[in-house]
Structure formats: C-alpha cells, structure tokens
A and B are shown apart, each in its own frame.
Chain A
C-alpha cells in the first residue's frame, strides 16, 4: 500500500535532513519522495504526523531474543513485537543462543523466523569460535553469506590470545567485523558489581575497572596487529574510552557502543541489593557515566543500544550475586536516549543519529536512513507524550527493568517496516 506521511518534522541525520517535509512511500515499501510527491503518485493511505518527529526506524545494535534455547524467558515473536512498538525496526542479536549461531542453518533459521512474523528485521552475529568455546574457528565466510553481520564470542572472552589473533586475521581476510566484549576473566573472577564504594559497603564481589581496561588493551594490540575492523560492545569505564579514543585517533578501524542504562545509572543505584541493577559489565561510578556521556558527543561512541536481556521473574528473585544480569531494554531505548537531550547532553539530531545510521554503519547494513530509494523503515515519535514504564503494560516478556515507575517522555505512535504499518499506538 502506498502512503504519505504528512506534516511531520522529518529528521534523517544521515542525509542532513531536518525540517517539515512529507514523506512518500510506494507500494513496494521504498521511499520515493521527500517534500514533494513524485509525478503520478497516489497515496492509498495518509498518516498524519503533525507535531511529531518522523525519522528512520531505530537500529538496535544488541538485543537478545532468547530463541532458540531460552524460550521460557522470551521468544523472537514477543521481542520483535516489543521492538517495533518501541520504534526499533532493525535488531542485531548476539550468537549466544542454544544452540549457538555457529552454523549457517542457525543464522538462517533466526532470520526466517523474524521474517515470518513480519516485525523488526533481525541480523544475527555469528560465533567467533565454535560453540563459543574459544578454541576453533567457525565457518565465518559461510556464516557471512548466510546473513551474519559480524562475529562475536559474546560473554565468553577468548582467553587464548593466539586463537583470538587467528580469529581476527580470518575476519580481516573476508572484511568481517569482530564484536568484542573485552574483559579479563581473572580480574573479573566472580565479580558482580563495580569494585568501588558501594560494593564495599554492601559486601558484593566486585569487578574492577581494570578487568575492562586490561581486556581492551590486549584487544587493541591485536586489532592493530591484524588490521581487523573491530567494535567494542558495552564500554562502561572512562579509562577504556580514553584508550579507544586514542586508537581511533591513530587511525585504527575501531568503534564502540554504550548501553542506554549505563548512560543513566551508576553503582549508587544498587541500593538494597536491587537485582534490577545487576548488569554485565556492572554500573560504574558517576565519573564513568559522565565520561560515557561526553564520548557520545565527541563521537568516540558510535551508538546507544538497549543490550536487551529479557528474563523470567525468578532470574531476578535471588540474592544479588546469584541473580542473572541484564535489563529488558527495548522499550526504554528511545526515551532514555531522548532524556539525554532534555539534560543538554546531546542535541536531538545527534541522539537520532546514535540510534539510526551510525549503528547501521557499524553493522554495515542499509538501514537507518530515509533517502529516496531507501527501504521505508520509519518511526514516528510524539516528543510531548508523557508516560510511565509499568510492568503490566510492557510488551516484552521480560519485565526486568530498574526503570519501572519512572516517568518517560517520547512515545512512538507509528512504526513502519518496509513500508508496512506494523505498529500504531492506540490510546486507552
């Protein structure tokens, strides 16, 4: 169905567009006109976006869908639905499913399931080593062919430096991107909270900042040595940011992302052993949070992601160190990023860039932009809408969020994927 989105403020930072423009979409799901209708265009439907922002559908660099293997927590269908309700039209999922995404069949299965439900696009990351064990390489070229947009060992850092070197060289051979969760496993050793004054007071085993910086230092040295394109996932400390910024200045092909929650919360939010604040890497100091915010502005960080990890209630109903880490973050990705614009950390256009074309560029995919000829993945946002995150109204199966009860502003009113309306906010 062809449609026109009328009267909205079109914001497409990739194409430096920011102003009142109507958007014209053909019945094949492509953008065919911006500002003025192309000759002979007839819209079968009109969407009124007056007073709203019209921007590319959001690209979430990291979201776990729990399928296959953890369907008791969530499924591809439930989470893809939650994604589009939150304006997210493209998701990248890590390979740590069960079984692991280390065969082309697994990669294809996930994409085709996503396709069947017709909500967000899902691009998987392939496993860097077989079964994530850190010993043997996977068929990365075949996995790339099967749709993997990069390779990762998820939360199991490759300890054997020689294996990591070889994996990076292999990725570099085929121009593949490696996604790293840099961490020194011995320094991390059982840590569950940031090693700092709060962990000291609460008696929680701590992960020192050095666990991240030692990991990043090692990985940077190998990146330089092998020439692979690398992306650092979920940076949490100021010191690691400094090291990455330096590497970028020296011309190394490295990028990095931060989670929405690390931009808002710190170790002090772990009051009364709140397991909703148990994340990996942990929430660190206020100083680290300020550095992360500054790095969004300076460009060291390419994207804000949700790091979505939906859990069943029991996963969080345990003593802190025994609870499972992770926040159900799809539904708060946009409002938490918008909140940074309220606080003057970012401009609105910069915020949208961090959620659209910049993460798309990290993944090397065609998304996050609305130029003529681009796929019409669109997100319409009512910036004035105020709402509160409530567990019963969350669409994701995971209700594990420390932001429950927190007032948010900015609501997605319409989401289109490939020109199809997949989400429309109903009042009441």
Chain B
C-alpha cells in the first residue's frame, strides 16, 4: 500500500517549523537510520554549518532481554559536547515513543543539554509513553497492525507494512 504523503512538502514544513530555533545555534542529532537521513536533508534545507550528530539507540532499548544485541550496531557519534547546547533531535517516525525515550537517556549520558526539541517526519498514533514532537512533517492515522517505514537514503520514500504479532516499537 503506498501512502500519499508528499515527503518534500513534509520536509519543507519541518524546516519552516524549525526556523524559529536557529537563533539558539542548535545542534542537530539524527537517530539511526531513518532519522539521520531526515536530519541530513533538514541540515541542508536550514543551511546549518555544524556537523550532524547521530545516535544508535540499540544499547538503550527497553526490549534488550527480548531481542538481544545486534552486531550491526553503528556507533553513536556526537562530535561536539552537548553540555548547555540546544539540541534538535530528529527521527523518521514517532509511534510508541520508546525510541525517543531511549535517545533521551543516551543523550543525557553524554552530557546535560540546555533543551531538546523533537522533530519527526511522520507522527502517527499509538503512543505508549507521554512523548510528543514539537515539529512534525506529516500526521498519519493507522491501524494497530499497520506500520510506516522510511526507505532511503536516495530517494526518500515511505512504505507501508502489515505486521502480524510483535511491533518493534518506534
């Protein structure tokens, strides 16, 4: 099933929404893998000079005892100190909120930011934690067994998946 979300338009809306934060000299951090792709596009759109940070949240997942360790874990890379910085945390899809919870835990193991603003390309229903995004590209309402996935890096596209039993919460 294809979606009729216009990704370019969504990215544009996000860039517009983030414009108000540029005065704070924000540090943009993408969550692997889809969040990094979105962050790269946003960085270009916003003309940010500073290098992107990237986070792999595998070690902070709350379902480790169930799924185990993934040997393809990419290293998290925060090239600058996060202390007292305003962070823009970017992910592709906001669903249960668990990935963002893990990302926040990991960021705070690196240091103490001044603030964290969450920007997501797709916000869909199904929250299991009290987490919301300040900047959203597009909203979607899906059934429980339906998932949306960002494919990329070039070109970026969205694909729908039907999942039978367990979701890996995002």
The answer on direct contact between A and B (beta carbons under 8 Å) is no
Interface residues of B, Cβ cutoff 8 Å to A: none
